[in-house]
Amino acid sequence: MPPLGSTLRTHRPYEGVYAFYDGRIDGVRAWSEAPNWLDDGAYALGLCSYAIVSGGEALVYDTSISLPHARIIRQTLEDAGARQIRVVLSHWHVDHVAGNEVFADCEIIANGLTAKALSDNRSNLENRDPPIRPLIMPNRIFEGALNLKVGEIHVELRHVDIHSHDGTMMILPHLKLLFAGDALEDPVTYVSEPIGLERHVRDLDRMASWDFTKILPNHGAEEIIVAGGYGPELIDATRNYVTKLLRLRDEPDLARQDLQTFVSDDIRAGTITHFAPYEAVHRENIKAVLTGHAEE
Protein backbone atom coordinates (compact mmCIF):
# COMPACT_ATOMS: atom_id res chain seq x y z
CA MET A 1 0.00 0.00 0.00
CA PRO A 2 1.64 3.31 -1.06
CA PRO A 3 2.27 6.01 1.57
CA LEU A 4 -0.51 8.58 1.85
CA GLY A 5 0.02 11.34 -0.67
CA SER A 6 2.56 9.43 -2.76
CA THR A 7 0.11 9.00 -5.65
CA LEU A 8 -1.04 12.63 -5.66
CA ARG A 9 -0.71 14.25 -9.09
CA THR A 10 -0.34 18.02 -9.52
CA HIS A 11 -1.65 19.73 -12.66
CA ARG A 12 -2.03 23.30 -13.88
CA PRO A 13 -5.10 23.40 -16.15
CA TYR A 14 -4.98 27.22 -16.29
CA GLU A 15 -2.42 29.90 -15.54
CA GLY A 16 -2.41 30.37 -11.78
CA VAL A 17 -4.74 27.40 -11.17
CA TYR A 18 -3.46 24.21 -9.55
CA ALA A 19 -5.33 20.90 -9.49
CA PHE A 20 -4.24 18.26 -6.95
CA TYR A 21 -5.68 14.93 -8.06
CA ASP A 22 -5.50 11.53 -6.38
CA GLY A 23 -7.23 8.18 -6.70
CA ARG A 24 -8.96 6.33 -9.54
CA ILE A 25 -6.04 3.88 -9.58
CA ASP A 26 -7.24 0.37 -10.31
CA GLY A 27 -6.47 -2.07 -7.50
CA VAL A 28 -4.75 0.51 -5.26
CA ARG A 29 -5.90 1.51 -1.79
CA ALA A 30 -4.41 4.39 0.18
CA TRP A 31 -5.39 3.79 3.83
CA SER A 32 -6.28 0.17 4.65
CA GLU A 33 -7.80 -3.02 3.31
CA ALA A 34 -10.73 -2.66 5.72
CA PRO A 35 -13.74 -0.59 4.60
CA ASN A 36 -13.16 3.11 5.24
CA TRP A 37 -14.33 6.48 3.90
CA LEU A 38 -10.98 7.43 2.35
CA ASP A 39 -10.50 4.38 0.15
CA ASP A 40 -14.08 3.41 -0.59
CA GLY A 41 -15.30 6.94 -1.24
CA ALA A 42 -12.84 9.63 -2.21
CA TYR A 43 -9.89 7.55 -3.41
CA ALA A 44 -11.88 5.02 -5.42
CA LEU A 45 -13.89 7.74 -7.13
CA GLY A 46 -10.97 10.15 -7.56
CA LEU A 47 -10.74 13.46 -5.77
CA CYS A 48 -9.30 16.81 -6.81
CA SER A 49 -8.59 19.80 -4.59
CA TYR A 50 -7.68 23.11 -6.18
CA ALA A 51 -5.68 26.24 -5.51
CA ILE A 52 -5.22 29.68 -7.08
CA VAL A 53 -1.89 31.50 -6.93
CA SER A 54 -1.26 35.13 -7.83
CA GLY A 55 1.02 37.87 -6.56
CA GLY A 56 2.38 35.98 -3.60
CA GLU A 57 -1.07 34.90 -2.43
CA ALA A 58 -2.84 31.55 -2.65
CA LEU A 59 -6.38 30.35 -2.10
CA VAL A 60 -6.98 26.64 -1.51
CA TYR A 61 -10.36 25.15 -2.43
CA ASP A 62 -10.70 22.18 -0.06
CA THR A 63 -7.83 20.64 1.90
CA SER A 64 -7.98 17.11 0.45
CA ILE A 65 -8.23 13.70 2.09
CA SER A 66 -5.31 13.54 4.53
CA LEU A 67 -2.65 15.58 6.27
CA PRO A 68 0.11 14.30 3.93
CA HIS A 69 -1.97 15.43 0.95
CA ALA A 70 -2.49 18.84 2.52
CA ARG A 71 1.22 19.18 3.29
CA ILE A 72 2.08 18.53 -0.35
CA ILE A 73 -0.49 21.13 -1.43
CA ARG A 74 0.92 23.72 0.95
CA GLN A 75 4.53 23.02 0.01
CA THR A 76 3.68 23.29 -3.69
CA LEU A 77 2.04 26.68 -3.16
CA GLU A 78 4.91 27.97 -1.05
CA ASP A 79 7.39 26.78 -3.68
CA ALA A 80 5.34 28.75 -6.22
CA GLY A 81 5.91 31.91 -4.18
CA ALA A 82 2.79 32.03 -2.02
CA ARG A 83 3.52 33.88 1.22
CA GLN A 84 -0.12 34.28 2.27
CA ILE A 85 -2.46 31.30 2.04
CA ARG A 86 -6.19 31.19 2.63
CA VAL A 87 -8.60 28.26 2.41
CA VAL A 88 -12.19 27.97 1.17
CA LEU A 89 -14.27 24.93 2.17
CA SER A 90 -16.74 23.77 -0.47
CA HIS A 91 -18.87 22.00 2.17
CA TRP A 92 -18.54 20.06 5.42
CA HIS A 93 -17.98 16.49 4.21
CA VAL A 94 -14.98 14.56 5.48
CA ASP A 95 -13.01 14.25 2.22
CA HIS A 96 -12.97 18.04 1.83
CA VAL A 97 -11.81 19.06 5.31
CA ALA A 98 -9.39 16.25 6.26
CA GLY A 99 -6.32 18.41 5.67
CA ASN A 100 -7.51 21.49 7.55
CA GLU A 101 -4.96 21.05 10.34
CA VAL A 102 -2.11 21.80 7.91
CA PHE A 103 -3.69 25.22 7.34
CA ALA A 104 -4.58 25.92 10.98
CA ASP A 105 -2.53 29.13 10.94
CA CYS A 106 -4.36 30.41 7.85
CA GLU A 107 -7.72 32.06 7.25
CA ILE A 108 -10.22 29.24 6.63
CA ILE A 109 -13.37 30.53 4.94
CA ALA A 110 -16.75 28.82 4.97
CA ASN A 111 -20.38 29.78 4.78
CA GLY A 112 -22.36 29.75 7.99
CA LEU A 113 -24.12 26.49 7.16
CA THR A 114 -20.80 24.73 6.69
CA ALA A 115 -19.52 26.06 10.01
CA LYS A 116 -22.66 24.79 11.77
CA ALA A 117 -22.53 21.39 10.06
CA LEU A 118 -18.89 20.95 11.05
CA SER A 119 -19.71 21.87 14.63
CA ASP A 120 -22.74 19.58 14.74
CA ASN A 121 -20.78 16.66 13.24
CA ARG A 122 -17.45 17.27 14.96
CA SER A 123 -17.49 14.11 17.06
CA ASN A 124 -18.44 11.98 14.06
CA LEU A 125 -15.68 13.45 11.89
CA GLU A 126 -13.03 13.15 14.58
CA ASN A 127 -13.86 9.47 15.10
CA ARG A 128 -14.19 8.28 11.51
CA ASP A 129 -11.80 5.76 9.95
CA PRO A 130 -9.42 7.43 9.33
CA PRO A 131 -10.15 10.08 12.00
CA ILE A 132 -10.01 13.83 11.37
CA ARG A 133 -8.57 14.74 14.75
CA PRO A 134 -8.38 17.51 15.59
CA LEU A 135 -10.93 18.95 13.21
CA ILE A 136 -9.84 22.52 12.52
CA MET A 137 -12.85 24.78 12.16
CA PRO A 138 -13.31 27.71 9.79
CA ASN A 139 -12.42 31.10 11.24
CA ARG A 140 -14.06 33.39 8.68
CA ILE A 141 -17.77 32.97 8.04
CA PHE A 142 -19.89 34.44 5.26
CA GLU A 143 -23.55 34.25 4.34
CA GLY A 144 -24.86 33.92 0.80
CA ALA A 145 -21.94 35.27 -1.22
CA LEU A 146 -18.47 36.71 -0.78
CA ASN A 147 -16.04 38.41 -3.17
CA LEU A 148 -12.31 38.01 -2.66
CA LYS A 149 -9.13 39.03 -4.40
CA VAL A 150 -6.14 36.70 -4.63
CA GLY A 151 -3.26 38.79 -5.92
CA GLU A 152 -4.65 40.08 -9.20
CA ILE A 153 -7.39 37.45 -9.47
CA HIS A 154 -10.98 38.24 -8.54
CA VAL A 155 -12.85 35.37 -6.88
CA GLU A 156 -16.58 34.98 -6.22
CA LEU A 157 -17.99 32.56 -3.64
CA ARG A 158 -21.67 31.64 -3.85
CA HIS A 159 -23.80 29.36 -1.69
CA VAL A 160 -25.86 26.61 -3.32
CA ASP A 161 -28.03 23.80 -1.96
CA ILE A 162 -26.86 20.97 -4.22
CA HIS A 163 -25.57 17.59 -2.93
CA SER A 164 -25.22 19.21 0.48
CA HIS A 165 -27.27 22.06 1.92
CA ASP A 166 -24.10 24.08 2.60
CA GLY A 167 -22.32 24.07 -0.77
CA THR A 168 -19.94 26.91 -1.68
CA MET A 169 -19.19 27.35 -5.38
CA MET A 170 -16.17 29.35 -6.49
CA ILE A 171 -16.01 31.37 -9.71
CA LEU A 172 -13.06 33.01 -11.44
CA PRO A 173 -14.78 35.57 -13.67
CA HIS A 174 -11.71 36.29 -15.81
CA LEU A 175 -11.59 32.64 -16.89
CA LYS A 176 -15.36 32.08 -16.74
CA LEU A 177 -14.44 29.08 -14.60
CA LEU A 178 -16.63 27.42 -11.96
CA PHE A 179 -15.22 25.25 -9.17
CA ALA A 180 -18.16 23.01 -8.29
CA GLY A 181 -17.12 21.07 -5.18
CA ASP A 182 -19.44 18.04 -5.01
CA ALA A 183 -22.44 19.85 -6.49
CA LEU A 184 -21.48 18.30 -9.83
CA GLU A 185 -19.68 15.00 -10.43
CA ASP A 186 -18.84 12.86 -13.43
CA PRO A 187 -20.74 10.68 -13.95
CA VAL A 188 -23.35 11.33 -11.22
CA THR A 189 -23.86 13.15 -7.94
CA TYR A 190 -23.80 11.33 -4.62
CA VAL A 191 -27.12 11.71 -2.80
CA SER A 192 -26.17 12.76 0.72
CA GLU A 193 -29.44 14.56 1.51
CA PRO A 194 -32.32 12.73 -0.22
CA ILE A 195 -34.99 14.94 1.34
CA GLY A 196 -33.36 17.92 -0.36
CA LEU A 197 -33.46 16.69 -3.96
CA GLU A 198 -36.19 19.10 -5.05
CA ARG A 199 -34.14 22.00 -3.65
CA HIS A 200 -31.09 20.67 -5.43
CA VAL A 201 -32.93 20.79 -8.76
CA ARG A 202 -33.96 24.40 -8.15
CA ASP A 203 -30.38 25.41 -7.39
CA LEU A 204 -29.07 23.51 -10.41
CA ASP A 205 -31.40 25.70 -12.47
CA ARG A 206 -30.07 28.79 -10.70
CA MET A 207 -26.46 27.81 -11.20
CA ALA A 208 -27.07 27.17 -14.89
CA SER A 209 -27.89 30.87 -15.31
CA TRP A 210 -24.45 32.00 -14.09
CA ASP A 211 -21.78 33.29 -16.46
CA PHE A 212 -19.17 30.56 -16.91
CA THR A 213 -18.01 28.24 -19.68
CA LYS A 214 -15.95 25.59 -17.86
CA ILE A 215 -16.44 23.52 -14.70
CA LEU A 216 -13.85 21.91 -12.42
CA PRO A 217 -15.57 19.42 -10.06
CA ASN A 218 -13.90 17.79 -7.07
CA HIS A 219 -14.86 14.34 -8.35
CA GLY A 220 -14.42 13.75 -12.06
CA ALA A 221 -12.19 12.30 -14.76
CA GLU A 222 -8.57 13.40 -14.35
CA GLU A 223 -7.96 13.77 -18.08
CA ILE A 224 -10.93 16.13 -18.47
CA ILE A 225 -9.85 18.24 -15.52
CA VAL A 226 -6.30 18.47 -16.90
CA ALA A 227 -7.70 19.59 -20.25
CA GLY A 228 -9.58 22.49 -18.64
CA GLY A 229 -12.74 20.94 -17.27
CA TYR A 230 -16.30 20.19 -18.25
CA GLY A 231 -18.79 22.31 -20.13
CA PRO A 232 -22.05 23.67 -18.67
CA GLU A 233 -23.85 20.58 -19.98
CA LEU A 234 -22.60 18.76 -16.87
CA ILE A 235 -25.29 20.70 -15.01
CA ASP A 236 -27.91 19.34 -17.41
CA ALA A 237 -26.67 15.77 -16.88
CA THR A 238 -26.81 16.20 -13.10
CA ARG A 239 -30.30 17.66 -13.29
CA ASN A 240 -31.41 14.78 -15.53
CA TYR A 241 -30.10 12.26 -13.00
CA VAL A 242 -31.62 13.91 -9.94
CA THR A 243 -34.95 14.40 -11.72
CA LYS A 244 -35.03 10.73 -12.67
CA LEU A 245 -34.21 9.72 -9.09
CA LEU A 246 -37.24 11.72 -7.97
CA ARG A 247 -39.41 9.51 -10.19
CA LEU A 248 -38.41 6.37 -8.27
CA ARG A 249 -41.23 6.62 -5.74
CA ASP A 250 -43.85 6.52 -8.50
CA GLU A 251 -41.92 4.35 -10.98
CA PRO A 252 -40.31 1.57 -8.89
CA ASP A 253 -39.11 -0.30 -11.99
CA LEU A 254 -36.46 2.40 -12.44
CA ALA A 255 -34.74 1.14 -9.30
CA ARG A 256 -33.73 -2.03 -11.15
CA GLN A 257 -31.69 -0.13 -13.74
CA ASP A 258 -27.92 -0.10 -13.35
CA LEU A 259 -26.16 3.24 -13.64
CA GLN A 260 -25.12 2.78 -17.25
CA THR A 261 -28.75 2.23 -18.24
CA PHE A 262 -30.10 4.93 -15.93
CA VAL A 263 -27.96 7.67 -17.52
CA SER A 264 -27.54 6.15 -20.98
CA ASP A 265 -28.72 9.26 -22.84
CA ASP A 266 -26.06 11.49 -21.29
CA ILE A 267 -23.37 8.85 -21.77
CA ARG A 268 -24.26 8.58 -25.46
CA ALA A 269 -24.17 12.36 -25.74
CA GLY A 270 -20.64 12.37 -24.33
CA THR A 271 -21.58 14.66 -21.46
CA ILE A 272 -20.51 12.12 -18.84
CA THR A 273 -18.49 8.92 -18.88
CA HIS A 274 -19.34 5.62 -17.26
CA PHE A 275 -16.97 4.80 -14.39
CA ALA A 276 -17.60 1.41 -12.79
CA PRO A 277 -17.10 2.42 -9.10
CA TYR A 278 -20.06 4.77 -9.45
CA GLU A 279 -22.36 1.76 -9.89
CA ALA A 280 -22.11 1.33 -6.09
CA VAL A 281 -22.82 5.05 -5.64
CA HIS A 282 -25.91 4.69 -7.82
CA ARG A 283 -27.18 1.74 -5.78
CA GLU A 284 -26.71 3.74 -2.58
CA ASN A 285 -28.48 6.71 -4.18
CA ILE A 286 -31.49 4.59 -5.05
CA LYS A 287 -31.59 3.20 -1.52
CA ALA A 288 -31.31 6.72 -0.06
CA VAL A 289 -34.17 8.05 -2.16
CA LEU A 290 -36.45 5.10 -1.36
CA THR A 291 -35.68 5.07 2.38
CA GLY A 292 -35.33 8.83 2.86
CA HIS A 293 -31.84 8.71 4.39
CA ALA A 294 -28.26 8.26 3.17
CA GLU A 295 -25.57 6.03 4.60
CA GLU A 296 -22.69 7.85 6.31
Mean pLDDT of 253-257: 97
Q: Examine residue 132 and state whether it is found in any structural domain, yes or no.
A: yes
pLDDT (0 to 100) of residue 292 = 84
Rg (CA), the chain: 18
If we measure between CA atoms, which residue out of 21, 5, 24 comes closest to residue 13? 21
Q: Examine residue 133 and state whether it is found in any structural domain, yes or no.
A: yes
**How many percent of the chain have pLDDT more than 90?**
97
Digit-coded pLDDT (tens) for 196-221? 999 999 999 999 999 999 999 999 99
pLDDT (0 to 100) of residue 2 = 87
CATH number of the domain within which 124 lies: 3.60.15.10
Name the β-bridge partners of 156: 147, 171
Q: How confident is the model at residue 232 (pLDDT cuts 50, 70, 90)?
A: very high
Q: Examine residue 236 and state whether it is found in any structural domain, yes or no.
A: no
Digit-coded pLDDT (tens) for 151-209? 999 999 999 999 999 999 999 999 999 999 999 999 999 999 999 999 999 999 999 99
The Cα 180–Cα 198 span in angstroms is 19
Query: 77: which residues sit within 8 A by CB, 6+ positions away?
Result: 18, 51, 53, 58, 60, 85
Q: Examine residue 291 and state whether it is found in any structural domain, yes or no.
A: no
If we measure between CA atoms, which residue out of 125, 138, 2, 136 comes closest to residue 68? 2
Please say if the pLDDT value at position 296 is more than 80: no
* Residue 134: cis peptide before it, omega within 30 degrees of 0: yes
pLDDT (0 to 100) of residue 294 = 76
Please say if the pLDDT value at position 91 is more than 90: yes
Q: Examine residue 50 and state whether it is found in any structural domain, yes or no.
A: yes
pLDDT (0 to 100) of residue 1 = 82
Please say if the pLDDT value at position 22 is more than 90: yes
Q: Examine residue 85 and state whether it is found in any structural domain, yes or no.
A: yes
Q: Examine residue 295 and state whether it is found in any structural domain, yes or no.
A: no
Domain count, the chain: 1
If we measure between CA atoms, which residue out of 160, 237, 156 comes closest to residue 193? 160
Please say if the pLDDT value at position 295 is more than 80: no
CA angle, residues 127, 86, 192, in degrees to nearest 5: 40
Digit-coded pLDDT (tens) for 106-151? 999 999 999 999 999 999 999 999 999 999 999 999 999 999 999 9
CA angle, residues 180, 183, 184, in degrees to nearest 5: 75
Q: Examine residue 39 and state whether it is found in any structural domain, yes or no.
A: yes
Burial class (CB in 10 A: 0-12, 13-18, 19+), 212: buried
- Greatest alpha-carbon pair distance for the chain in Å reads 56
pTM (2 d.p.): 0.97
Please provide the size of the chain in residues: 296
For 75, list phi and psi in degrees, rounded to 5. -65, -40
Range of the domain at 227: 9-231
